[in-house]
Amino acid sequence: MTLTVLVVEDDPDARDLLSFMLADADFQVRYAENGRVAITMAREHPPDAIIMDLHLPGIDGSAAAQTIRADSRLGRIPIVAYTLSSRPLLAWETELFDAIVDKRTSSGALIDILRQVTRGRAGGAP
């Protein structure tokens, strides 16, 4: 069974690159351009995993992840922080994410991390 990943990224080029890379690895991809849209989309159609940029307009990635974690239906969805930030995450922020990935990480490594955090969901990782 194909896993669905919600990509939350405001940069259209980065979003397109992630979408292509994930689709090539047999993930079904949906995307949101900001945290508010991501929360709405996750509530309407819960994904198997979320890749969340941290620097988003409006509601940032940490705040969106916090809202998703607080929702009893969504709280167990794996969330991968995806960032170029040089600012270290605060302790409460790191607890929100199943993994934190630098945007310069290779596509293969990101796919491996995504498969690890989704292991056992929807019949197993692709």
pLDDT, tens only, 21-46: 999 999 999 999 999 999 999 999 99
The Cα–Cα gap between 110 and 100 comes to 10
Query: Is the pLDDT confidence value at 120 over 60?
Result: yes
Determine the distance from the C-alpha atom of residue 47 to the mean position of all C-alpha atoms in its chain, rounded to a whole number: 9
The model's pTM: 0.91
Q: Tens of pLDDT along 42-85?
A: 999 999 999 999 999 999 999 999 999 999 999 999 999 998 87
**Domain with 82 in it: what CATH number?**
3.40.50.2300
Count of domains forming the chain: 1
Q: Is 120 helix (H, G, I), strand (E, B) or coil?
A: coil
Residue 103's domain comprises 4-123
Strand order in the sheet with 49-53: 28-32, 4-8, 49-53, 79-83, 99-102
